[in-house]
Amino acid sequence: MNAADPRSVARIRDFNRYWTRTIGVLDEGHLHTPYNLSECRVLYEIAAAGSDIGTTVLREALGLDAGQLSRILARFEREKLVTRGPDPDDGRRQTVRLTAAGRRLQDHHDALADAANAELLDRIPERERPEVLAAMDVIRTALDPSAAAGALVIRPPRPGDLGWTVQANAAVYHDQFGWNDDYEALVARIVADYAADHHPRREACWIAELDGRNVGCVFCVGDHGDPTGTTARLRLLLVAPEARGHGVGRRLVEECVRFARDADYTEMVLWTNSVLGSARRIYQAIGFRLEAEEPHVSFGKQLVGQTWRLKLR
């Protein structure tokens, strides 16, 4: 490998000094908050996971040493922003998740970050913004080619995706909870009804794609039990096991809620089962409220069904 041109190295160093000053990395409190940049990043990654995230996964994702991460999480625990507990799949490891207070704080940080970056964009003439944003992508993929393939994409379904949602739901819930073919039949009916007759401006489906592979889905449809047509229903949220911890579930639910608001629904409901803990925590974090629950026997199991509702207006 050829040695780097000293003048190019100097240009990078000069740009780094400019950029760290511009985005406030050197400030004692990031975004004018009581938290430094590392603490804000840790809080963000926990929130982005959408459910429990392993501390080992968190440390590797951020490149922090174990001691630094432990000190940050200890502060967050003292301030009741997170809770920690044993990993249900491996008692030697820990997981962490946000409390309601932690979620409110992260929502506030998101708003501050959005405002700060919007202010940066406002300094760039509108006709030049696409070029600047494209340059960011060029830099990132040049330094880390895997970044282009590793981005999480939430997109409309392509041919074959609806069939995949049936297969994936059936396989995941059979493997994880032992649900029988009755569940696959239910999913197939829901998907078939959507494919045969849905209103594109009022109903939609999204596929989550990670590393070029389908890893999740969700549907927004009208609630046929509401004669006013003002209630949307969230259905068939799924995140493949290998994609959990990447914030896939939360991104899917957020997209579903955004669509429902834009379609002028006034509320959204969903039906789920109490055993689906990770999904339930996403619903709670976004603002859904438990309305009713009832035991039932379905899919070959004794279950507790739950109805959740979110006001959109």
pLDDT at 266: 95
234, 269 contact by CB (below 8 A): yes
pLDDT of residue 51: 66
In this predicted model, what pLDDT tens digit does every residue of 56-71 receive, in sequence order? 888 888 888 989 999 9
Domain boundaries, the chain: 6-123, 153-311
**Residue 149 pLDDT greater than 60, yes or no:** no
Look-up of token digits 């405002």: 115
pLDDT digits (tens, 9 = 90+) for 249-306: 999 999 999 999 999 999 999 999 999 988 998 999 888 999 999 999 999 999 999 9
Q: What is the pLDDT of residues 95-148, one digit of tens each?
A: 899 999 999 999 999 899 889 988 998 999 888 887 887 788 778 777 876 555
Residue 47 has pLDDT above 70, yes or no: yes
Question: How many Å apart are CA 303 and CA 156, to the nearest integer?
Answer: 32
Segment 155-159 shows an average pLDDT of 91
Strand order of the sheet with strand 289-298?
152-155, 204-210, 213-222, 231-239, 267-273, 301-311, 289-298
Fold of 153-311: Aminopeptidase (3.40.630)
- Two tokens at 140? 């990132």
Are the beta carbons of 195 and 248 closer than 8 angstroms? no
For 34, residues 6+ apart whose C-beta sits below 8 A from its C-beta are none
This prediction's pTM: 0.57
Do 246 and 49 touch, CB atoms closer than 8 A? yes
Is 6-123 a domain of CATH 3.40.50.300?
no
Q: What's the whole-number mean pLDDT along residues 30-39?
A: 90
H/E segment holding residue 294: strand 289-298
